[in-house]
Amino acid sequence: MALRFIGRDPNSPNTNSPTVWVDEADGSLVIQGWKLDEEATAAVNATAPVPEHETVLRIPARMAPFLKEAMGDV
């Protein structure tokens, strides 16, 4: 797997996350973010339970430019 680094949250206090990469093999996004708290997790699961093999994470809206860059011209 070849991941292309796109960017980190410029306001992260420790400059480690959230972070966005693109998997060069299939174009999928790889995102590091914050775990949801119990209240947010309950709200997500009320809509549709998250399967055991998946996760939901939170990234700040200020990361949108990195997501747009990662998506290219899609």
pLDDT score of 74 more than 60: no
The domain in which residue 16 lies consists of 3-71
Q: What is the pLDDT of residue 73?
A: 57
pLDDT tens string 3-29: 999 999 988 877 678 999 999 999 999
Work out the average pLDDT over 30-41: 92
H or E stretch at 70: helix 64-71
Evaluate whether 19 touches 9 at the Cβ level (below 8 Å): yes
Neighbours of 23 (CB within 10 A): 14
Question: What domain count does the chain have?
Answer: 1
